[in-house]
Protein backbone atom coordinates (compact mmCIF):
# COMPACT_ATOMS: atom_id res chain seq x y z
CA UNK A 1 0.00 0.00 0.00
CA UNK A 2 1.15 3.51 -0.71
CA UNK A 3 2.34 5.60 2.25
CA UNK A 4 -0.21 8.29 1.45
CA UNK A 5 -3.06 5.79 1.83
CA UNK A 6 -1.66 4.72 5.20
CA UNK A 7 -2.02 8.32 6.40
CA UNK A 8 -5.71 8.42 5.50
CA UNK A 9 -6.39 4.98 6.94
CA UNK A 10 -6.70 5.84 10.68
CA UNK A 11 -9.34 8.48 10.03
CA UNK A 12 -11.25 6.19 7.67
CA UNK A 13 -11.13 3.29 10.15
CA UNK A 14 -12.32 5.45 13.07
CA UNK A 15 -15.12 6.91 10.98
CA UNK A 16 -16.07 3.49 9.66
CA UNK A 17 -16.27 1.96 13.11
CA UNK A 18 -17.93 4.81 14.98
CA UNK A 19 -19.97 6.43 12.24
CA UNK A 20 -20.66 4.36 9.14
CA UNK A 21 -21.37 1.03 10.86
CA UNK A 22 -23.60 2.60 13.55
CA UNK A 23 -25.43 4.58 10.89
CA UNK A 24 -26.12 1.44 8.84
CA UNK A 25 -27.27 -0.23 12.03
CA UNK A 26 -29.74 2.60 12.68
CA UNK A 27 -31.25 2.14 9.23
CA UNK A 28 -31.56 -1.65 9.79
CA UNK A 29 -32.96 -1.10 13.27
CA UNK A 30 -35.69 1.16 11.92
CA UNK A 31 -37.09 -1.91 10.14
CA UNK A 32 -37.10 -4.13 13.22
CA UNK A 33 -39.75 -4.30 15.90
CA UNK A 34 -39.55 -3.70 19.60
CA UNK A 35 -40.75 -6.20 22.17
CA UNK A 36 -42.88 -5.33 25.20
CA UNK A 37 -39.88 -4.76 27.47
CA UNK A 38 -37.93 -2.83 24.91
CA UNK A 39 -35.91 -5.71 23.50
CA UNK A 40 -35.25 -5.62 19.78
CA UNK A 41 -36.87 -8.43 17.79
CA UNK A 42 -35.06 -9.69 14.73
CA UNK A 43 -38.04 -9.61 12.38
CA UNK A 44 -38.37 -7.34 9.40
CA UNK A 45 -41.26 -4.90 9.62
CA UNK A 46 -42.47 -1.69 8.06
CA UNK A 47 -44.53 -1.13 11.19
CA UNK A 48 -42.40 1.70 12.58
CA UNK A 49 -42.72 3.75 9.42
CA UNK A 50 -46.43 2.92 9.16
CA UNK A 51 -46.91 3.98 12.77
CA UNK A 52 -45.12 7.26 12.17
CA UNK A 53 -46.75 8.14 8.87
CA UNK A 54 -50.34 7.20 9.81
CA UNK A 55 -50.39 8.99 13.15
CA UNK A 56 -51.27 12.65 12.73
CA UNK A 57 -49.43 13.37 15.95
CA UNK A 58 -46.12 12.23 14.47
CA UNK A 59 -46.73 13.70 11.03
CA UNK A 60 -48.27 17.07 12.00
CA UNK A 61 -47.08 17.82 15.51
CA UNK A 62 -43.62 16.43 15.05
CA UNK A 63 -42.36 16.17 11.47
CA UNK A 64 -44.25 19.04 9.83
CA UNK A 65 -43.84 21.30 12.84
CA UNK A 66 -40.09 20.70 12.84
CA UNK A 67 -39.85 21.45 9.12
CA UNK A 68 -42.19 24.45 9.31
CA UNK A 69 -40.43 26.10 12.25
CA UNK A 70 -37.00 25.37 10.75
CA UNK A 71 -38.10 26.93 7.46
CA UNK A 72 -39.60 30.05 9.08
CA UNK A 73 -36.52 30.48 11.28
CA UNK A 74 -34.31 30.11 8.19
CA UNK A 75 -36.24 32.84 6.38
CA UNK A 76 -35.81 35.26 9.28
CA UNK A 77 -32.16 34.26 9.76
CA UNK A 78 -31.39 34.94 6.11
CA UNK A 79 -33.05 38.38 6.11
CA UNK A 80 -31.45 39.46 9.39
CA UNK A 81 -28.13 37.81 8.56
CA UNK A 82 -28.02 39.44 5.13
CA UNK A 83 -28.58 42.90 6.62
CA UNK A 84 -25.84 42.23 9.17
CA UNK A 85 -23.41 40.98 6.54
CA UNK A 86 -24.17 43.98 4.34
CA UNK A 87 -23.50 46.45 7.15
CA UNK A 88 -20.22 44.69 7.99
CA UNK A 89 -19.13 44.52 4.35
CA UNK A 90 -19.64 48.29 3.99
CA UNK A 91 -17.79 49.19 7.21
CA UNK A 92 -14.25 50.58 7.35
CA UNK A 93 -11.58 47.82 7.52
CA UNK A 94 -10.72 48.29 11.21
CA UNK A 95 -14.37 48.44 12.23
CA UNK A 96 -14.97 45.39 10.09
CA UNK A 97 -12.54 43.25 12.10
CA UNK A 98 -14.33 44.20 15.31
CA UNK A 99 -17.79 43.62 13.92
CA UNK A 100 -16.81 40.18 12.67
CA UNK A 101 -15.40 39.37 16.08
CA UNK A 102 -18.74 40.40 17.62
CA UNK A 103 -20.73 38.27 15.18
CA UNK A 104 -18.55 35.24 15.80
CA UNK A 105 -18.59 35.60 19.55
CA UNK A 106 -21.92 33.80 20.06
CA UNK A 107 -20.66 30.85 18.00
CA UNK A 108 -17.98 30.30 20.63
CA UNK A 109 -20.35 30.48 23.56
CA UNK A 110 -22.02 27.33 24.81
CA UNK A 111 -25.46 26.80 23.28
CA UNK A 112 -27.01 26.06 26.67
CA UNK A 113 -25.68 29.40 27.92
CA UNK A 114 -26.97 31.26 24.86
CA UNK A 115 -30.39 29.67 25.20
CA UNK A 116 -30.45 30.45 28.91
CA UNK A 117 -29.73 34.10 28.10
CA UNK A 118 -32.85 34.18 25.92
CA UNK A 119 -34.86 32.62 28.76
CA UNK A 120 -33.81 35.52 30.98
CA UNK A 121 -34.86 38.05 28.33
CA UNK A 122 -38.15 36.41 27.32
CA UNK A 123 -39.30 35.19 30.73
CA UNK A 124 -42.38 36.41 32.59
CA UNK A 125 -40.31 39.04 34.39
CA UNK A 126 -37.86 39.32 31.53
CA UNK A 127 -36.65 42.50 29.92
CA UNK A 128 -39.02 42.30 26.95
CA UNK A 129 -42.06 41.97 29.20
CA UNK A 130 -40.82 44.76 31.47
CA UNK A 131 -40.55 47.05 28.46
CA UNK A 132 -43.95 46.02 27.05
CA UNK A 133 -45.71 46.54 30.38
CA UNK A 134 -43.67 49.63 31.27
CA UNK A 135 -44.58 51.37 28.03
CA UNK A 136 -48.17 50.33 28.44
CA UNK A 137 -48.17 48.29 25.24
CA UNK A 138 -49.45 45.32 27.16
CA UNK A 139 -51.46 45.37 30.39
CA UNK A 140 -49.74 42.28 31.80
CA UNK A 141 -46.68 40.18 30.96
CA UNK A 142 -47.10 38.16 27.77
CA UNK A 143 -46.31 34.46 27.67
CA UNK A 144 -43.19 34.76 25.52
CA UNK A 145 -41.46 31.63 26.78
CA UNK A 146 -42.27 27.95 26.30
CA UNK A 147 -44.05 28.32 22.98
CA UNK A 148 -43.30 28.20 19.26
CA UNK A 149 -42.36 31.89 19.09
CA UNK A 150 -39.70 31.43 21.75
CA UNK A 151 -38.26 28.46 19.87
CA UNK A 152 -38.29 30.46 16.64
CA UNK A 153 -36.44 33.38 18.24
CA UNK A 154 -33.89 30.93 19.66
CA UNK A 155 -33.32 29.23 16.32
CA UNK A 156 -32.92 32.56 14.50
CA UNK A 157 -30.39 33.69 17.10
CA UNK A 158 -28.40 30.50 16.64
CA UNK A 159 -28.45 30.57 12.83
CA UNK A 160 -27.83 34.28 12.11
CA UNK A 161 -24.02 34.24 12.62
CA UNK A 162 -23.71 31.37 10.13
CA UNK A 163 -25.73 33.31 7.55
CA UNK A 164 -23.64 36.43 8.16
CA UNK A 165 -20.40 34.55 7.55
CA UNK A 166 -21.74 32.90 4.37
CA UNK A 167 -23.10 36.13 2.90
CA UNK A 168 -20.18 38.28 4.03
CA UNK A 169 -17.68 36.13 2.12
CA UNK A 170 -19.67 36.54 -1.09
CA UNK A 171 -20.33 40.27 -0.61
CA UNK A 172 -16.61 40.84 -0.07
CA UNK A 173 -15.88 39.26 -3.44
CA UNK A 174 -18.29 41.50 -5.38
CA UNK A 175 -16.41 44.52 -6.78
CA UNK A 176 -17.93 47.74 -5.47
CA UNK A 177 -17.33 49.32 -8.89
CA UNK A 178 -20.21 47.28 -10.32
CA UNK A 179 -22.66 49.06 -8.04
CA UNK A 180 -21.01 52.41 -8.70
CA UNK A 181 -21.16 51.79 -12.43
CA UNK A 182 -24.88 51.10 -12.18
CA UNK A 183 -25.32 54.40 -10.34
CA UNK A 184 -23.30 56.39 -12.90
CA UNK A 185 -25.69 55.20 -15.59
CA UNK A 186 -28.61 56.46 -13.54
CA UNK A 187 -29.61 53.75 -11.06
CA UNK A 188 -30.68 54.84 -7.59
CA UNK A 189 -28.67 53.25 -4.74
CA UNK A 190 -31.66 51.02 -4.00
CA UNK A 191 -32.11 49.78 -7.56
CA UNK A 192 -28.33 49.36 -7.92
CA UNK A 193 -28.47 47.10 -4.88
CA UNK A 194 -31.55 45.26 -6.07
CA UNK A 195 -30.32 44.69 -9.62
CA UNK A 196 -26.59 44.27 -9.12
CA UNK A 197 -25.46 43.40 -5.61
CA UNK A 198 -28.41 41.27 -4.55
CA UNK A 199 -28.40 38.94 -7.59
CA UNK A 200 -24.61 38.54 -7.26
CA UNK A 201 -24.92 37.56 -3.62
CA UNK A 202 -27.37 34.73 -4.34
CA UNK A 203 -24.69 32.02 -3.82
CA UNK A 204 -24.03 33.39 -0.32
CA UNK A 205 -27.76 33.51 0.42
CA UNK A 206 -28.15 29.91 -0.74
CA UNK A 207 -25.17 28.70 1.29
CA UNK A 208 -26.39 30.61 4.33
CA UNK A 209 -29.93 29.29 4.06
CA UNK A 210 -28.86 25.67 3.69
CA UNK A 211 -26.62 26.04 6.73
CA UNK A 212 -29.36 27.73 8.72
CA UNK A 213 -31.97 25.15 7.76
CA UNK A 214 -29.62 22.26 8.54
CA UNK A 215 -28.90 23.69 11.98
CA UNK A 216 -32.54 24.51 12.68
CA UNK A 217 -34.06 21.23 11.55
CA UNK A 218 -31.87 19.25 13.93
CA UNK A 219 -32.38 21.71 16.79
CA UNK A 220 -32.21 20.00 20.14
CA UNK A 221 -31.18 22.33 22.95
CA UNK A 222 -33.34 25.26 21.79
CA UNK A 223 -36.70 23.42 21.68
CA UNK A 224 -35.93 21.65 24.97
CA UNK A 225 -35.15 24.84 26.87
CA UNK A 226 -37.25 27.48 25.10
CA UNK A 227 -40.11 25.14 24.20
CA UNK A 228 -40.30 23.85 27.75
CA UNK A 229 -41.46 20.42 26.58
CA UNK A 230 -44.46 21.87 24.75
CA UNK A 231 -42.84 22.36 21.37
CA UNK A 232 -41.92 18.89 20.17
CA UNK A 233 -39.03 18.48 17.75
CA UNK A 234 -37.73 15.48 15.78
CA UNK A 235 -34.37 15.42 17.54
CA UNK A 236 -35.95 15.61 20.97
CA UNK A 237 -38.48 12.92 20.07
CA UNK A 238 -35.70 10.62 18.84
CA UNK A 239 -33.79 11.16 22.06
CA UNK A 240 -36.78 10.55 24.31
CA UNK A 241 -37.95 7.51 22.36
CA UNK A 242 -34.51 5.95 22.71
CA UNK A 243 -33.71 6.82 26.30
CA UNK A 244 -37.05 7.33 28.10
CA UNK A 245 -39.42 5.02 26.20
CA UNK A 246 -36.57 2.63 25.47
CA UNK A 247 -38.00 1.88 22.02
CA UNK A 248 -34.80 1.74 19.98
CA UNK A 249 -36.33 0.72 16.63
CA UNK A 250 -38.89 3.53 16.68
CA UNK A 251 -36.22 6.03 17.73
CA UNK A 252 -34.20 4.83 14.73
CA UNK A 253 -37.22 5.40 12.48
CA UNK A 254 -37.57 9.00 13.70
CA UNK A 255 -33.82 9.46 13.14
CA UNK A 256 -33.97 8.04 9.60
CA UNK A 257 -36.93 10.27 8.68
CA UNK A 258 -35.00 13.30 9.97
CA UNK A 259 -32.02 12.14 7.93
CA UNK A 260 -34.19 11.87 4.81
CA UNK A 261 -35.48 15.44 5.34
CA UNK A 262 -31.88 16.69 5.63
CA UNK A 263 -30.79 14.81 2.52
CA UNK A 264 -33.73 16.07 0.45
CA UNK A 265 -32.92 19.62 1.55
CA UNK A 266 -29.27 19.18 0.53
CA UNK A 267 -30.41 17.83 -2.83
CA UNK A 268 -32.64 20.86 -3.41
CA UNK A 269 -29.70 23.07 -2.45
CA UNK A 270 -27.38 21.38 -4.96
CA UNK A 271 -29.99 21.88 -7.63
CA UNK A 272 -30.47 25.54 -6.66
CA UNK A 273 -26.73 26.19 -6.73
CA UNK A 274 -26.47 24.69 -10.20
CA UNK A 275 -29.37 26.70 -11.59
CA UNK A 276 -28.34 29.94 -9.86
CA UNK A 277 -24.66 29.52 -10.59
CA UNK A 278 -24.69 30.30 -14.30
CA UNK A 279 -26.05 33.85 -14.46
CA UNK A 280 -23.73 34.89 -11.63
CA UNK A 281 -20.71 33.45 -13.40
CA UNK A 282 -21.77 35.27 -16.55
CA UNK A 283 -21.94 38.63 -14.76
CA UNK A 284 -18.62 38.06 -13.05
CA UNK A 285 -16.96 37.21 -16.33
CA UNK A 286 -18.41 40.30 -18.00
CA UNK B 1 -23.77 54.56 -1.41
CA UNK B 2 -25.12 58.09 -1.04
CA UNK B 3 -26.14 58.78 2.50
CA UNK B 4 -28.85 61.19 3.42
CA UNK B 5 -29.38 62.09 7.07
CA UNK B 6 -32.38 59.76 7.30
CA UNK B 7 -30.51 57.04 5.47
CA UNK B 8 -27.48 57.11 7.71
CA UNK B 9 -29.62 57.29 10.86
CA UNK B 10 -31.50 54.21 9.71
CA UNK B 11 -28.18 52.58 8.94
CA UNK B 12 -26.86 53.07 12.46
CA UNK B 13 -30.14 52.14 14.14
CA UNK B 14 -30.19 48.95 12.07
CA UNK B 15 -26.61 48.11 12.96
CA UNK B 16 -27.23 48.63 16.66
CA UNK B 17 -30.43 46.58 16.57
CA UNK B 18 -28.65 43.76 14.74
CA UNK B 19 -25.86 43.50 17.28
CA UNK B 20 -28.27 43.99 20.17
CA UNK B 21 -30.27 41.02 18.92
CA UNK B 22 -27.13 38.86 18.84
CA UNK B 23 -25.38 40.03 22.00
CA UNK B 24 -27.79 41.80 24.37
CA UNK B 25 -29.13 38.53 25.84
CA UNK B 26 -25.57 37.50 26.77
CA UNK B 27 -24.87 40.93 28.29
CA UNK B 28 -28.09 40.70 30.31
CA UNK B 29 -27.20 37.21 31.51
CA UNK B 30 -23.83 38.52 32.70
CA UNK B 31 -25.52 41.43 34.50
CA UNK B 32 -27.96 39.04 36.18
CA UNK B 33 -25.05 37.03 37.61
CA UNK B 34 -24.33 39.97 39.97
CA UNK B 35 -27.92 40.13 41.16
CA UNK B 36 -28.13 39.06 44.81
CA UNK B 37 -31.86 38.32 44.63
CA UNK B 38 -33.11 36.49 41.58
CA UNK B 39 -32.63 35.89 37.85
CA UNK B 40 -34.02 39.32 37.01
CA UNK B 41 -32.69 42.25 35.03
CA UNK B 42 -31.86 44.96 35.99
CA UNK B 43 -30.04 43.64 39.08
CA UNK B 44 -31.32 44.91 42.42
CA UNK B 45 -27.85 45.15 43.89
CA UNK B 46 -24.37 43.86 43.40
CA UNK B 47 -22.85 40.67 44.75
CA UNK B 48 -20.11 38.25 43.87
CA UNK B 49 -21.57 35.52 46.07
CA UNK B 50 -22.77 33.39 43.15
CA UNK B 51 -19.23 33.20 41.84
CA UNK B 52 -18.03 32.03 45.23
CA UNK B 53 -20.82 29.43 45.18
CA UNK B 54 -19.25 27.79 42.13
CA UNK B 55 -16.41 26.58 44.33
CA UNK B 56 -18.96 24.83 46.58
CA UNK B 57 -20.43 22.80 43.77
CA UNK B 58 -18.31 19.69 43.29
CA UNK B 59 -20.65 18.51 40.51
CA UNK B 60 -19.79 21.55 38.43
CA UNK B 61 -16.10 21.43 39.17
CA UNK B 62 -16.02 17.77 38.26
CA UNK B 63 -18.00 18.41 35.06
CA UNK B 64 -15.63 21.23 34.14
CA UNK B 65 -12.71 18.85 34.66
CA UNK B 66 -14.39 16.13 32.59
CA UNK B 67 -15.20 18.61 29.81
CA UNK B 68 -11.61 19.83 29.74
CA UNK B 69 -10.12 16.33 29.59
CA UNK B 70 -12.60 15.34 26.90
CA UNK B 71 -12.02 18.57 24.95
CA UNK B 72 -8.24 18.24 24.99
CA UNK B 73 -8.35 14.56 24.04
CA UNK B 74 -10.83 15.24 21.24
CA UNK B 75 -8.75 18.16 19.96
CA UNK B 76 -5.54 16.11 19.84
CA UNK B 77 -7.12 13.00 18.36
CA UNK B 78 -9.42 14.69 15.88
CA UNK B 79 -6.80 17.16 14.67
CA UNK B 80 -4.16 14.43 14.51
CA UNK B 81 -6.37 12.21 12.38
CA UNK B 82 -7.45 15.18 10.28
CA UNK B 83 -3.90 16.35 9.59
CA UNK B 84 -2.68 12.86 8.65
CA UNK B 85 -5.70 12.31 6.41
CA UNK B 86 -5.28 15.71 4.75
CA UNK B 87 -1.61 15.05 4.03
CA UNK B 88 -2.48 11.60 2.69
CA UNK B 89 -5.37 12.84 0.58
CA UNK B 90 -3.19 15.56 -0.93
CA UNK B 91 -1.03 12.87 -2.51
CA UNK B 92 -3.91 10.93 -3.97
CA UNK B 93 -5.89 11.44 -7.10
CA UNK B 94 -9.12 10.24 -8.63
CA UNK B 95 -11.93 8.20 -7.20
CA UNK B 96 -10.16 7.02 -4.03
CA UNK B 97 -9.48 10.59 -2.99
CA UNK B 98 -12.98 11.78 -3.79
CA UNK B 99 -14.49 8.86 -1.90
CA UNK B 100 -12.28 9.22 1.17
CA UNK B 101 -12.69 12.97 1.44
CA UNK B 102 -16.47 12.88 1.10
CA UNK B 103 -16.62 10.05 3.65
CA UNK B 104 -14.54 12.05 6.10
CA UNK B 105 -16.60 15.22 5.57
CA UNK B 106 -19.96 13.43 5.78
CA UNK B 107 -20.53 13.93 9.55
CA UNK B 108 -21.06 17.60 8.70
CA UNK B 109 -24.17 16.80 6.72
CA UNK B 110 -25.70 14.24 9.05
CA UNK B 111 -27.73 15.64 11.95
CA UNK B 112 -25.71 15.27 15.14
CA UNK B 113 -28.64 13.61 16.88
CA UNK B 114 -28.47 10.72 14.39
CA UNK B 115 -24.75 10.21 14.92
CA UNK B 116 -25.38 10.14 18.65
CA UNK B 117 -28.41 7.88 18.33
CA UNK B 118 -26.43 5.47 16.15
CA UNK B 119 -23.56 5.18 18.62
CA UNK B 120 -25.98 4.95 21.54
CA UNK B 121 -27.80 2.06 19.91
CA UNK B 122 -24.67 0.15 18.93
CA UNK B 123 -23.33 0.48 22.45
CA UNK B 124 -26.67 -0.60 23.90
CA UNK B 125 -26.85 -3.63 21.57
CA UNK B 126 -23.35 -4.75 22.34
CA UNK B 127 -24.03 -4.44 26.02
CA UNK B 128 -21.18 -1.98 26.48
CA UNK B 129 -21.22 0.80 29.02
CA UNK B 130 -21.04 4.44 28.14
CA UNK B 131 -17.70 5.78 29.26
CA UNK B 132 -15.17 8.41 28.38
CA UNK B 133 -14.04 6.39 25.36
CA UNK B 134 -17.44 6.18 23.72
CA UNK B 135 -17.94 9.88 24.39
CA UNK B 136 -14.51 10.58 22.94
CA UNK B 137 -15.22 8.50 19.84
CA UNK B 138 -18.46 10.40 19.25
CA UNK B 139 -16.80 13.78 19.69
CA UNK B 140 -13.97 12.83 17.32
CA UNK B 141 -16.46 11.71 14.67
CA UNK B 142 -18.48 14.94 14.70
CA UNK B 143 -15.42 17.23 14.84
CA UNK B 144 -13.17 15.45 12.32
CA UNK B 145 -14.41 17.41 9.27
CA UNK B 146 -13.21 20.73 10.72
CA UNK B 147 -9.44 20.05 11.00
CA UNK B 148 -9.60 18.07 7.77
CA UNK B 149 -11.10 21.02 5.92
CA UNK B 150 -8.79 23.57 7.53
CA UNK B 151 -5.64 21.62 6.71
CA UNK B 152 -6.80 20.65 3.22
CA UNK B 153 -7.54 24.30 2.48
CA UNK B 154 -4.04 25.28 3.55
CA UNK B 155 -2.52 22.41 1.56
CA UNK B 156 -3.95 23.79 -1.66
CA UNK B 157 -1.18 26.38 -1.67
CA UNK B 158 1.36 23.93 -0.33
CA UNK B 159 4.55 23.45 -2.29
CA UNK B 160 5.28 19.72 -2.39
CA UNK B 161 8.76 20.52 -3.70
CA UNK B 162 9.77 21.66 -0.21
CA UNK B 163 9.22 18.11 0.99
CA UNK B 164 10.96 16.65 -2.02
CA UNK B 165 13.88 18.94 -1.36
CA UNK B 166 14.15 17.65 2.21
CA UNK B 167 14.03 14.08 0.96
CA UNK B 168 16.67 14.76 -1.70
CA UNK B 169 19.14 16.09 0.88
CA UNK B 170 18.80 12.88 2.84
CA UNK B 171 15.82 13.31 5.20
CA UNK B 172 13.76 10.22 5.88
CA UNK B 173 10.02 10.54 5.06
CA UNK B 174 9.34 10.78 8.80
CA UNK B 175 11.87 13.57 9.23
CA UNK B 176 10.41 15.38 6.24
CA UNK B 177 6.96 15.11 7.82
CA UNK B 178 8.05 16.35 11.26
CA UNK B 179 10.57 18.96 10.25
CA UNK B 180 9.12 20.33 7.02
CA UNK B 181 5.47 19.50 6.40
CA UNK B 182 4.00 19.83 9.89
CA UNK B 183 5.73 23.13 10.75
CA UNK B 184 4.50 24.56 7.47
CA UNK B 185 0.96 23.48 8.32
CA UNK B 186 1.06 25.09 11.75
CA UNK B 187 -1.18 27.93 10.62
CA UNK B 188 -4.05 25.51 10.11
CA UNK B 189 -3.19 22.97 12.84
CA UNK B 190 -3.32 25.41 15.77
CA UNK B 191 -6.72 26.91 14.91
CA UNK B 192 -8.00 23.39 14.27
CA UNK B 193 -6.96 22.30 17.76
CA UNK B 194 -8.76 25.26 19.29
CA UNK B 195 -11.91 24.90 17.16
CA UNK B 196 -12.20 21.20 17.95
CA UNK B 197 -11.67 21.89 21.64
CA UNK B 198 -14.42 24.54 21.60
CA UNK B 199 -16.80 22.30 19.62
CA UNK B 200 -16.22 19.44 22.05
CA UNK B 201 -16.35 21.66 25.13
CA UNK B 202 -19.70 23.11 23.98
CA UNK B 203 -21.26 19.95 22.62
CA UNK B 204 -24.61 19.00 24.06
CA UNK B 205 -26.54 16.87 21.59
CA UNK B 206 -23.98 14.11 21.20
CA UNK B 207 -22.89 14.16 24.82
CA UNK B 208 -26.39 13.81 26.25
CA UNK B 209 -26.83 10.44 24.53
CA UNK B 210 -23.50 9.03 25.61
CA UNK B 211 -22.65 10.58 28.95
CA UNK B 212 -23.31 8.80 32.21
CA UNK B 213 -23.08 9.72 35.87
CA UNK B 214 -19.30 9.42 35.87
CA UNK B 215 -18.85 11.49 32.75
CA UNK B 216 -21.16 14.44 32.86
CA UNK B 217 -19.86 17.39 30.90
CA UNK B 218 -20.36 21.05 31.74
CA UNK B 219 -23.22 21.78 29.29
CA UNK B 220 -25.09 18.70 30.55
CA UNK B 221 -24.53 19.70 34.16
CA UNK B 222 -25.74 23.23 33.48
CA UNK B 223 -28.88 22.00 31.73
CA UNK B 224 -29.60 19.43 34.46
CA UNK B 225 -29.26 22.15 37.08
CA UNK B 226 -31.61 24.44 35.13
CA UNK B 227 -34.37 21.86 35.39
CA UNK B 228 -34.97 22.44 39.07
CA UNK B 229 -32.93 25.51 40.04
CA UNK B 230 -33.25 28.93 38.47
CA UNK B 231 -31.10 31.33 40.43
CA UNK B 232 -28.27 33.72 39.54
CA UNK B 233 -25.80 30.92 40.21
CA UNK B 234 -26.44 29.56 36.70
CA UNK B 235 -25.88 33.07 35.34
CA UNK B 236 -22.55 33.25 37.19
CA UNK B 237 -21.56 29.81 35.88
CA UNK B 238 -22.57 30.93 32.37
CA UNK B 239 -20.59 34.15 32.72
CA UNK B 240 -17.47 32.14 33.49
CA UNK B 241 -18.11 30.14 30.30
CA UNK B 242 -18.72 33.29 28.25
CA UNK B 243 -15.50 34.89 29.53
CA UNK B 244 -13.56 31.71 28.75
CA UNK B 245 -15.00 31.72 25.21
CA UNK B 246 -14.10 35.38 24.69
CA UNK B 247 -10.54 34.74 25.86
CA UNK B 248 -10.16 31.81 23.44
CA UNK B 249 -11.66 33.85 20.61
CA UNK B 250 -9.26 36.74 21.25
CA UNK B 251 -6.27 34.39 21.52
CA UNK B 252 -7.11 32.88 18.15
CA UNK B 253 -7.65 36.30 16.62
CA UNK B 254 -4.33 37.62 17.92
CA UNK B 255 -2.23 34.55 17.08
CA UNK B 256 -3.45 33.08 13.82
CA UNK B 257 -6.20 35.51 12.83
CA UNK B 258 -9.87 34.77 12.52
CA UNK B 259 -9.57 34.31 8.78
CA UNK B 260 -8.25 30.82 9.39
CA UNK B 261 -11.16 30.02 11.66
CA UNK B 262 -13.84 31.53 9.50
CA UNK B 263 -13.37 28.80 6.94
CA UNK B 264 -15.08 26.39 9.28
CA UNK B 265 -18.40 27.67 8.09
Q: How many CB atoms are located within 10 Å of the residue A233 CB?
A: 27
Q: What is the pLDDT of residues B113-171, one digit of tens each?
A: 999 999 998 888 777 776 788 899 999 999 999 999 989 888 877 777 887 888 888 88
Residues on chain A touching B89 (C-beta within 8 angstroms): 4, 8
- Identify the residue with better confidence: A198 or B93: A198
Residue A262's pLDDT is: 93
Residue B1's pLDDT is: 46
Q: Give how far B184 is from chain A: nearest CA, Å.
A: 18
Verify cis geometry, omega within 30 degrees of 0, for the bond prior to B42. yes
A174: left (phi over 0), alpha (psi -120 to 50) or beta: beta
Question: Are B202 and A110 inside 8 Å of each other by CB?
Answer: yes
Residues on chain B touching A189 (C-beta within 8 angstroms): 1-2
Q: How many CB atoms are located within 10 Å of the residue A197 CB?
A: 19
Residue A2's pLDDT is: 66
Report the alpha-carbon angle A118-A119-A123, nearest 5: 120
Q: Which of A4, A103, A113 sits opposite B92 (nearest CB)?
A: A4
Question: Are A11 and B106 inside 8 Å of each other by CB?
Answer: no
Q: What is the pLDDT of residues A217-229, one digit of tens each?
A: 999 999 999 998 8
CA–CA gap between residue A269 and residue A272 (Å, rounded): 5
Question: Are B117 and A4 inside 8 Å of each other by CB?
Answer: no
Residue B6's pLDDT is: 80
Residue A39's pLDDT is: 77
Q: Which of B15, B84, B141 sits opposite A15 (nearest CB)?
A: B141
Instruction: Report ipTM (2 d.p.).
Output: 0.89
Residues of chain A with pLDDT under 70: 1-2, 277-286
CA–CA gap between residue A68 and residue A72 (Å, rounded): 6
Q: Give how far A282 is from chain B: nearest CA, Å.
A: 25
pTM: predicted TM-score of the whole model, two decimal places:
0.90
- Confidence band for B258, pLDDT divided at 50, 70 and 90: low
Report the alpha-carbon angle B261-B264-B265, nearest 5: 120
Question: Are A259 and B114 inside 8 Å of each other by CB?
Answer: yes
> Mean pLDDT in chain B?
86
Amino acid sequence: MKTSAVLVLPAVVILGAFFVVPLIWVVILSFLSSGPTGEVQQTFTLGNYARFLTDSYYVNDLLLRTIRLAAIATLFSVVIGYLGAFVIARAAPTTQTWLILLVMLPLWVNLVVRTLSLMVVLGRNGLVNQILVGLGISARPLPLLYNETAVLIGMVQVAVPFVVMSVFGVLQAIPRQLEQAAMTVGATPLSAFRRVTLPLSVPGILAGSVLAFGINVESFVVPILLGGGRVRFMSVAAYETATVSNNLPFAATIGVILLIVTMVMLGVYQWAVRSAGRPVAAVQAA
Amino acid sequence: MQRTLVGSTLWYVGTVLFFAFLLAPLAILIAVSFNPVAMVFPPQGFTLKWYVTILDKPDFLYAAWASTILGVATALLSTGLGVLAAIGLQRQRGAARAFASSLLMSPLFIPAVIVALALFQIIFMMGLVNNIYTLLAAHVVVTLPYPLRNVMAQMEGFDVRLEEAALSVGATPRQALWRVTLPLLKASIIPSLIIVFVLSWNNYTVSVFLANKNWTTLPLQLRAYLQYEYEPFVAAMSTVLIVASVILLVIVDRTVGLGAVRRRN
